[in-house]
Structures are given as C-alpha cells and as structure tokens.
Amino acid sequence: MTLTIYTHPSGLEHLTPDGHIERVERLQTLLDLFKSDFADVPVKPAPQATLDQILAAHDENYVFALEENQPMADIIPLDGGDTWMSPGTYNAALHAAGAAIAAVDDVMSGATKTTFCAMRPPGHHAEPGHAMGFCLFNNVFIGALHAREAYGLEKIAIVDFDVHHGNASDTMARRHDGIFYVSSHQWPLFPGSGEPGSSVNGRVLNIPLEDGTGSDTFRDTYERVVFPALEAYAPDLLMISAGFDACADDPSASMNLSPDDFGWVTEMLVRKTAPSTGGKTVSVLEGGYNLENLKNGVAAHLKALQNT
Ligand SMILES: [Zn+2]
C-alpha cells in the first residue's frame, strides 16, 4: 500500500464565524474529492491525540485553559479575530493532531508509505503557549515529536510550503533537537516571522519569497536551496506542512503558483529524501482558502504521493 488518507468527521464540527476563510467547506471539498477522484485510496479515521502527545509540544496552562473554556453554544475568539473556538473545536483539534500521530505510526510500521492528513483546524501557527492564525495545536510538530519519542528517530525534516511562515514550527524546532524545519513563504506577510537572516544551521531554514512569486522562481528556489539542504541532512522521515495558499488567487496571500506546482514539489521532496527515508512521508494539511485551487492542489499532491 502506498498512500493512506487520515481524516475525521469532527473536522466538520469546528465552526468559524460567517465570512471566515478557514471554514467547514474546506474539509468538505476535500472529502468530496477523495470520494470522486481517489476512491481507491484508503481513508482511515484519525484518533484523538492523547494529552501527553499534545503536551510534548504545548504548555500545560494553555492546553488546560482551552479544555476548560470550551463554549457550550457560541463561537468565541482565542486571539483577537483570527482563531475561534466553537463547541466542536477542541475535539476536532485533538483529532487533527491525532491524524499526524496515526500517520506516523502507520508509516513506521510499514502499513503505508505515504500519508495525507486532511483535518482542520490547521496547526503551524499554534505556538507552545497560545492559539494563533486559525491554529490550536501544531499538528505536524506533535507528529514529529511522536516519531522521535516512540520510534527513536534522530532526524526528521518538516518542509512547509504553505504561503505563510510556520512561526510555531520555527519556534519548536529551535527548542527540540532532531527536527529540521524548512519553510518557503511569502514575506513580508502574516505572521511576519521567517525574515531574511532568521535561519539556524541544521534547525531552521527560512526562505522568504516576494509577493507575486510564480512557478519558475518557486521551482528554482527548491532546486537550488531546499533539495540540497535536505540531501545534506538525510532525514529518517519526511513530514510536509502542506498548505495550498501559495496558489494564485488565494484570499490570504499573493503568490502565483499553479496546482501543478504542488504535485511537482511533492514528488521532488519525496524523491530527494527517499535515499534516507525509504520514501516514508507524512503530509499534514495547513492552509489553502480558494476552494477550487485547494481541491486541485490537493489532487496534484495526492497523485504525487501515490506515484512516488
Ligand atoms: Zn497559510
């Protein structure tokens, strides 16, 4: 078996206010895509992450406050106007992190080679001690810490091609050994971090890109900077923070990639790391807010994960 998808219906119970770009329809679009175009790919239910697995990445005070403050009926703000909690949010967030855990387990056991975790809320902006940028828990990093603790992996690469810098993954990679975080992102743009000169050798590689960056520059940058860095690092496991908001016409950014670019970068990432990973890849959904481009970008991503 090559590719397995992980998701959970609780991802449809995380509600945001009307007009919010991170909305239920994002996940529904992908669930429809899996049924129509990827009917032969197994879809497994994502379990909840355990409290210990969450606490490996996040502060106790933060997690307990979230659990205690879950609303009974309303949708409440967690960080001004970006990140919201509805009655189903906390449970969805546990399953979103649990998807990454289950994907790591199945990849490590050999049950599957590549994986895609289709859940919301997303994760890469969720700092150790606070929610941020639509994110409650840093799903991909929780999965990486699980891979390190449960399987003793010493070198895990997280490549983040979401258009926004994953500030929380950056923060955590500076704190935790053995996890190399590589991000390409539009800069300046929310959240403002990932600026030129902010890389740390062997821990964080930040690649700011100008607004309007299109396919040629994106691919050239990965060829020149990202792939050589990954080949030199030789990770045991490849993880991907798969955001599709660097596509043209995304309401949150102004880069100009096409859906095909996500297929290309996925195939190249898996192939370039395969000598050390054996192809083991855990991909976790982050952003992507133009529904048509999200659907087409994820389709290209999944085809690449199937074919590598
Ligand atoms: Zn994003």
So what's the pLDDT on residue 1? 67
CA 152 / ligand 1 centre spacing (Å): 30
CA 111 / ligand 1 centre spacing (Å): 30
Q: Which residue in the list 8, 14, 124, 125 is annotated as catalytic?
A: 125
The candidate with the shortest Cα–Cα distance to 162, out of 210, 135, 127, 124, is: 124
- In the chain the domains, ranked by start, together with CATH numbers, are 3-307 (3.40.800.20)
The candidate with the shortest Cα–Cα distance to 167, out of 132, 119, 129, 117, is: 132
Strand 3-7 relative to strand 84-85, pairing: unpaired
For the chain, percent of residues with pLDDT exceeding 70: 100
So what's the pLDDT on residue 249? 98
Q: Report the 10 Å Cβ neighbour count for 23.
A: 18
pLDDT in tens, 223-261: 999 999 999 999 999 999 999 999 999 999 999 999 999
Q: Is the pTM of this model over 0.85?
A: yes
CA 164 / ligand 1 centre spacing (Å): 4
So what's the pLDDT on residue 58? 98
Q: Are 114 and 283 in contact (CB under 8 A)?
A: yes
pLDDT in tens, 30-81: 999 999 999 999 999 999 999 999 999 999 999 999 999 999 999 999 988 8
CA 35 / ligand 1 centre spacing (Å): 25
CA 109 / ligand 1 centre spacing (Å): 31
Average pLDDT in the chain: 98
CA 121 / ligand 1 centre spacing (Å): 12
So what's the pLDDT on residue 56? 98
Phi first, then psi, for residue 188 (nearest 5°) are: -75, 145
Average pLDDT estimate for 279-301? 98
**pLDDT above 70 (res 197):** yes
CA 224 / ligand 1 centre spacing (Å): 23
Q: CA 72 to CA 75: how far, in whole Å?
A: 9
Please indicate whether residue 164 is annotated as part of the active site.
no
Average pLDDT estimate for 201-224? 98
So what's the pLDDT on residue 81? 87
